[in-house]
Amino acid sequence: MKVLVVGKGGREHALVWKLTQSPRVERVYAAPGNPGMAQTATCVPINADLDVSAGAELQHEIARLRDFALAEDIELTVVGPESSLAGGLVDVFNAAGLKVFGPTAAAARLESDKAFAKDLMARTGVPTAEYRTFTDSARAIAYVQEQGAPVVVKASGLAAGKGAIVCHTLKEATDAIQQLMDERVFGDSGATVVVEEFMEGEEASFFVLTDGTDFVPLVSAQDHKPILEGDQGPNTGGMGAYAPAPVMTPTLIEATENRIVRPVLAGMRDGGCPFQGVLYCGLMIDDSGPRVVEFNCRFGDPEAQVILPLLETDLAEVLAAACDGRLATLKIGNSTGAAVCVVMASGGYPGPYEKGKAIHGIDTVDGRDGVMVFHAGTARKDGQLVTSGGRVLGVTAAAPDTAAAVKRAYAAADRISFEGAYYRRDIAYRALARR
């Protein structure tokens, strides 16, 4: 089988890494890929990992990918970025008769249109925060003043994981609404906003692979979005993750499947847009059980870097089964161990940061003692591996338990260096505290 992975970050590197282990896979292509993926995959200079606002350029790159897949007889395409899914890559590939893992643009609205997702949950009785949707900033501000703080203000469209703003005061909420709707800091993604009640509890990520009707669950995970220890400071794309998440007990997993996953998949089928791909349920856990914070329509990043190392079933076989509508015939296995990912970021991230810093030490740890180093924002310059993004590397370690995985991951991260490198020192602190 020839497989094409679409994307260029740590999530896609983890997918490439896992797919190359399949005896069914003879060759993996990555578009556009990165230097880490280039070690085991053939990188293709086609970039559909663009913002949806790129419009015609994104559609042009999707068409180029389709033509490449047809010319190379690609038998399975796996889509990493949400923007490619929202841009209709799966629709284009389906029309060409190509097997592709991921939801159509209509189904990807679960992530690309938060107002759509909230309305679907309201119709299907899925537990989530109370909300109102607005297309006028003055009405949104008036609603916030009526409700009081804290609240969460969300851009309805895609905003690279940064469009949800927790507001502890009325001023913060007013500023957030104005920034999203009037100043358009995330472009048209903020034309519609969702104002939600503030939920308290512990967050967790729950992923299922689905063919639209049946599904198989992956191991639960928990990520760390804020830049600073103790989950303080501004949100990022993710500073680390670990799996499994102890907060997701067997009882809570069963509740999530029955109260969230099954109703949502049924609601999508009833609405004429069945969801095939990865359904990522971002959850808030409190005494009442799980409630949905948000849905994503693809593997999480960096959660993929800790979930995939624990998957013991052939990933290519599972994804192909999802595309063919035969997941009911499969059972998957997950390791009883744990995995931890520590994200090494550029100094200044998530604000302005410099690129082109030489990276040293990866070869001393990658592939040793359960360590995998996934490239997220790297490039080659004059033969030297250098930084090219805010999140640079995902240093991941697998071990029999979380404490051992944490120790291995930090021991590896401490041996990797680049100017201005920053990483949190408390990844998995909640899991360790539960011990």
DSSP 222-245: EE--EEETTTEEEE-S-SEEEES-
Do β-strands 100-101 and 76-79 pair in parallel, antiparallel, or remain unpaired? parallel
Q: Are 418 and 353 in contact (CB under 8 A)?
A: no
Say how far apart CA 385 and CA 368 lie, in whole Å.
20
> Which of 369, 392, 370 lies closest to 379 in space, CA to CA?
392
> Which of 51, 85, 260 lies closest to 162 in space, CA to CA?
51
Q: Are 118 and 194 in contact (CB under 8 A)?
A: yes
Say how far apart CA 260 and CA 44 lie, in whole Å.
38
Domains of the chain: 2-104 (3.40.50.20), 130-197 (3.30.1490.20), 202-433 (3.30.470.20)
**pLDDT for the residue numbered 435:** 73
| 10-residue mean pLDDT series, the chain (435 residues) | 97 98 97 97 95 87 98 98 95 98 97 93 95 93 92 86 85 93 89 92 95 96 95 91 96 97 98 97 94 94 97 97 94 94 97 97 96 97 96 98 98 98 97 88
Say how far apart CA 93 and CA 118 lie, in whole Å.
28
Chain segment 205-239, per-residue pLDDT in tens: 999 999 999 999 999 999 999 999 999 998 888 99
Name, in order, each residue with C-beta under 8 angstroms of 297's C-beta and a sequence gap of 6 or more.
82, 85, 102, 103, 107, 108, 110, 111, 112, 275, 277, 278, 279, 280
Chain segment 52-61, per-residue pLDDT in tens: 778 899 999 9
Hey, which residues does 164 pair with through a beta bridge?
154
Helix (H, G, I), strand (E, B) or coil at 194: strand
